[in-house]
Amino acid sequence: MIPPDLLAQFEADYFGRLSVAEQQSLQESLRARPDWQEELRQYHQLWRGLNKLGEDQLRQNLANWENMASSTDEAELLEWYFQNQLSAENRQWIDEQRAANPAFAKRFEAYQKIYHGLDQLGETQFRTRMNEWEKETAPQASATDQTTGRRVALRSYRRVLAIAASVLLLIVAGLLWRNQANDPQALLDDLYTYPVTGNTLGNDSISQAEYLAIFDQAHQAFQQKNYESAVELFTTLSTKVPPDTFVADDLSYYQDNVEWMVVLSRFGAGKTAGDFSQRLRSIADNATHRFQEQAQKLSDQF
Amino acid sequence: MSKYVKDEQLLQQLAYGLEADWQRFYEQERSAFRLYFLKHTSQDPEAIRRLYQDALVVLHRKISREQLVAPLRSSLRTYLIGIGKMLHRKQWQQQTTLWEDDIPEIGEAPSVEAEHERQAAAELVRGLLDRLEEGCREILTLVYLRSYAMDAVKETLGLPSVGAARKRKFDCLQRIRQLL
């Protein structure tokens, strides 16, 4: 049998991670052991299959993300059209769509009116603002010293009030934060919501039933403050291939929930070392994540 | 000091393998990629949508196999568009497209494995994975199907070290091979 250290090198070679010199050295090891040829061939077959499965899974994810992201594509495309940013061929493609598709032609006209109107409105408002700036600077140029002095004093007074209000706000916010930070359980209760289930479409299958059972069990553990168990169960779910009966909405819903609950459970169990911060940040920075707001709140406290 | 510090931080995040980070990257880069190819090519939006996904697959492969590492010589966006240009050339055989910028072409070694061979291997391995015990299936799924870095595998499975994660991975690889 090929020893693990060498197997790691054969794998690195298969996936293109070795230098030329390392590849040559490895080939020499292989020439010295013809009895490894068949075993290596089998590993190549496994890596080929695993690689393809991984790519299939990635493409499935890309398709799901595409569905979520493409709802504003038409508006964006037409905006580029009106801004004259498209190639001649793509402008022509849009013109052909207008000619062939009356519904699209109507939407095109509607967007055209909107963008043109927004353009005009923007220009009008900008002119209005310029006029206001003009008025603000003109009187100042002709003010007497006394008047100027009073204006300066008033501005300073307002400024002092504004600063005082900000400081007061910070003090109050700090007190509130300290209260919550001193009580992690209150924070956990605030950030946790029981999920809405039962809206999954498609036929019940054993794998779907199993997935949902573990999901429910994990949430029960969390509600009973058995955070260690909740961590284990949610982490298990995060490593499972989701049921293939889930449609894109379900997939997104459960994935977001599980991702967030892994983080929240770990916080409850005090397991905040390792990649905890990274996981929390990746949710807090993700505008499309269902639990972005909660993650940001936890991130601020943490 | 690298010129692309933020991009290198993002690269490190993506290399870790978490899906949420890849999804965010996908959404973040989508518009810029689309506009670039809508502006500079004759391909329609649907073709460019497919090109974007193909480019992401290539980028994902390069990052998960540590073929793209710091220090970067361009931003990740530039690199991704470069991959798109390379794929565009291969797919549409257009040697004469004049790119009006200096985003470099990215060379990519041609694949020598036919698609049907890869598909057959995938089906075989899918069956083998189903026959494996849960622990081994978990770790092989994380490493090969979800391209988690070893650090991420160690954290997800609660293993004591990266070395332990690597050892378990190869133990499980040997077990699945024995099922062949």
Query: Does B138 reach chain A within 8 Å, measured CB to CB?
Result: yes
Confidence of residue A201 (pLDDT cuts 50, 70, 90): very low
Mean of pLDDT over chain B: 88
pLDDT tens-digit series, residues B45-84: 999 999 999 999 999 999 998 889 999 999 999 999 999 9
CA A78 to chain centre: 26
Predicted local distance difference test score (pLDDT) of residue A199: 44
- How far apart CA B24 and CA A93 sit, in angstroms, is 30
Of A64-73, A113-122, B17-26, B34-43, least confident by mean pLDDT is A113-122
So what's the pLDDT on residue B111?
53
Q: How far B96 CA sits from the closest chain A CA (Å)?
A: 16
Of A46, A56, A241, the CB nearest to B176: A46
ipTM given for this complex: 0.82
Which residues are CB-neighbours of A37 under 8 A, at least 6 positions away?
A30
**C-alpha distances out from residue A230 to A268, A269, A276, Å:** 9, 9, 15
In 3D space, the residue among B15, B83, B30, B20 whose CA is nearest the CA of residue B55 turns out to be: B83
A46–B contact, CB cutoff 8 A:
yes
Size of interface A-B (CB pairs under 8 A): 162
CB of A44 within 8 Å of a chain B CB? The answer is no
Q: Give the closest of B26, B60, B65 to A16, CB-based.
A: B65
Among A18, A23, A52, A61, the strongest candidate for a mutation testing the B interface, having the largest count of B CBs within 10 A, is A52
CA distance B35 to chain A (A): 8
d(CA A259, CA B146): 15
Of residues A295, A287, A294, the one with CA closest to residue A69 = A287
Select the residue from B145, B162, B172, B178 to test the A interface by mutation, using most A Cβ atoms within 10 A. B145
The answer to whether A15 contacts B141, with C-beta atoms less than 8 Å apart, is no
Q: What's the one-letter identity of residue A204?
A: D
Residue at token pair 């007497």: A144
Largest Cα–Cα distance of chain A, in whole Å? 100
Position A152 confidence tier, pLDDT thresholds 50, 70, 90: very low
Does A102 reach chain B within 8 Å, measured CB to CB?
A: no
- Cβ pair B159, B149 in contact under 8 A: no
Q: Give the pLDDT mean for A198-222.
A: 70
**Continuous segment of H or E residues that includes residue A150:** helix A145-181
Residue B102, chain A, CB below 8 Å: the answer is no
pLDDT band at A153 (very low <50, low <70, confident <90, very high): very low
pLDDT band at B114 (very low <50, low <70, confident <90, very high): confident
Contact A98, A108 (CB under 8 A): yes
Q: Are A17 and B66 within 8 A, CB to CB?
A: yes
Percent of chain B with pLDDT over 90: 71
- For the stretch A21-69, pLDDT in tens is 999 999 998 899 999 999 999 999 999 999 999 999 999 999 999 988 8
Predicted TM-score (pTM) above 0.90 = no
Q: For residues B41 and A178, which has the higher predicted lDDT (pLDDT)?
A: B41
Both structure tokens of A50: 């695993």
Q: What is the 3-state secondary structure (H, E, C) of chain B?
A: CCCCHHHHHHHHHHHHCCHHHHHHHHHHHHHHHHHHHHHHCCCCHHHHHHHHHHHHHHHHHHHHCCCCCCCCCCCHHHHHHHHHHHHHHHHHCCCCCCCCCCCCCCCCCCCCCCHHHHHHHHHHHHHHHHHCCHHHHHHHHHHHHCCCCHHHHHHHHCCCCHHHHHHHHHHHHHHHHHCC
A61:B23 CB<8 A: yes
Q: What is the mean pLDDT of chain A?
A: 80
Dump pLDDT digits (tens) for B86-102: 999 888 765 555 565 55
Interface membership of A185 toward B (CB under 8 Å): no
Task: Give the pLDDT band of residue A193 (cuts 50, 70, 90).
Answer: confident
Q: Which residue of A lies nearest to B64 if distances are taken between CA atoms?
A: A15
